[in-house]
Amino acid sequence: MTGKRKNRCSFCGRSEDEVALLLTGMNGFICNDCVRQAEQIVRESMGEGVRRPAAGNDAGLDMDKLPKPRDIKAFLDQYVIGQDSAKRYLSVAVYNHYKRLSQKVDDDGVEIEKSNIIMVGPTGTGKTLLARTIAKQLKVPFTIVDATIFTEAGYVGEDVESILTRLLQVADYDVAATERGIVFIDEIDKIARKQDNPSITRDVSGEGVQQGLLKLLEGSIVNVPPKGGRKHPDQDYIHVDTRNILFICGGAFDGIERKIAQRLNTHVVGYDSVQNQQKIDTKDLMKYIVPQDLKSFGLIPEIIGRLPVLTYLDQLDREALRNILTEPKNSLVKQQVKLFQMDGIKLSFDDDALDYIVDKAVEYKLGARGLRSIMETIMIEAQYSAPSGKEKELVITRQYAEQQIAKSEKMKE
């Protein structure tokens, strides 16, 4: 005896068990995937293949309630120490992104185009922290991806389209919301073109990935696999228009100072050369960075042209590192105090102990990340024993910090 016959989509032939939703008509059925594809075909045939941003309140954005650039920077100041230049660039870019989403297509034909950003700065200066902090204030989907996982299509790794897969997931698979989102691509310097030395191997994680990113940065309709491309090859694609997605890229570009120095030296020629050299701040060459230096480092000209806003982050000095320990809302000291407070223990740090932590961070040259590493090394013993002890107050002195660091270094020998 045969079972009950299952209803099937009249277009793709899949049964009701194989699709999320099956709509019933007078003489047939259609699944949710075929409905989506049919919508795309209708849009393209009627000249609506590229969807424009919704105008005014249809985009869900009220310009009167949106944070202004000064407000965005003030919010960043609560969590990130210094880096005023980068904060200004980010604040203006995000605000302009909001304005682009709320713009109305006027008769004058003026359409505001997006300006993707690239941030350059040494490790531990706050590039990723700026991105994570600004995400807290945004009213659009935001995601952070790491460029080091990408390879050319057909090789082990992830396709660049997986960037949009993550943005889709953040937006709960709302395509319209995804197309208004912001993406932060970290470690962009790791996909720089390798040296021009002859090689028998293909640069599948360098220039090939840069070529793949071009269409995303510029703006086009991309077929996005909702579950990731290679583990689920039979899935249906979601069409996402990237014209209104703002891309912010960040990278350490380790060694780019040498490229900057070489370029500055080539310009210093003639009678006035000595005076010109004296004007150059050799301790902070990053402030002189221009797109030409990114090209010398290994980014292809096409991708540099699609990242028109270039800003840099300063190397953190001793004063900035000292402020990072205590001033931000989410500072390392406040985190440790909160951890011990949950065990009913009052934790405090002597100024000499904090100065010692900063001294070690400057010695290690790891920026703010070095502060966290040193702090964890100093506090691990107290975190282990204090919750089981009877002491309700703990003071971290310089002597205690030195002992813990010395013990840690001795164990590594």
CB 227 within 8 Å of CB 212: no
The tens-digit pLDDT sequence of the chain (413 residues) is: 445 677 888 888 888 887 878 888 878 888 888 888 888 777 666 544 434 443 333 445 566 678 899 999 999 999 998 899 999 999 999 898 888 888 776 656 777 888 899 999 888 888 888 988 888 888 788 999 998 888 765 565 677 888 898 899 988 889 988 988 899 999 998 888 765 554 445 555 678 788 888 888 988 888 887 766 554 555 678 889 998 899 999 998 988 988 898 888 755 445 555 555 557 777 778 888 999 999 999 899 999 999 999 999 988 889 999 999 999 988 999 999 999 999 999 999 999 999 999 999 888 887 888 899 999 999 999 999 999 988 899 999 999 999 999 988 777 66
Q: How far apart are CA 146 and CA 163, in angstroms?
A: 9
pLDDT value of position 310: 93
Query: In the numeric block, which tokens belong to residue 206?
Result: 């360098």
Could you tell me which residues are beta bridge partners of residue 293? none
**Helix axis angle, 398-412 to 367-385, nearest 10°:** 100
What angle is formed at CA 217 by the lines to CA 214 and CA 223, rounded to 5 degrees? 80
Region of 197 (left: φ > 0; alpha: ψ -120 to 50; beta: rest) is beta
For residue 326, the surrounding DSSP H or E stretch is helix 318-326
For residue 250, the surrounding DSSP H or E stretch is strand 246-251
198 contacts: CB under 8 Å, gap ≥ 6: none
149 contacts: CB under 8 Å, gap ≥ 6: 157, 158
Residue 273 is which amino acid? S
Mark out the alpha helices in 190-306 (DSSP H runs).
207-218, 256-267, 273-279, 291-297, 301-305
Domain ranges of the chain: 1-48, 56-255+280-312, 318-412
pTM (2 d.p.):
0.73
Residue among 185, 180, 95 nearest 131 (CA): 185
Looking at residue 112, the DSSP 8-state letter turns out to be: P
Tell me the CATH class for 56-255+280-312. alpha beta
pLDDT value of position 268: 45
pLDDT value of position 290: 92
At 283, is the secondary structure helix, strand, or coil?
Answer: coil
Q: How far apart are CA 167 and CA 4, in angstroms?
A: 41
Q: For the structural domain made of 318-412, what CATH number should be given?
A: 1.10.8.60
For residue 140, the surrounding DSSP H or E stretch is none
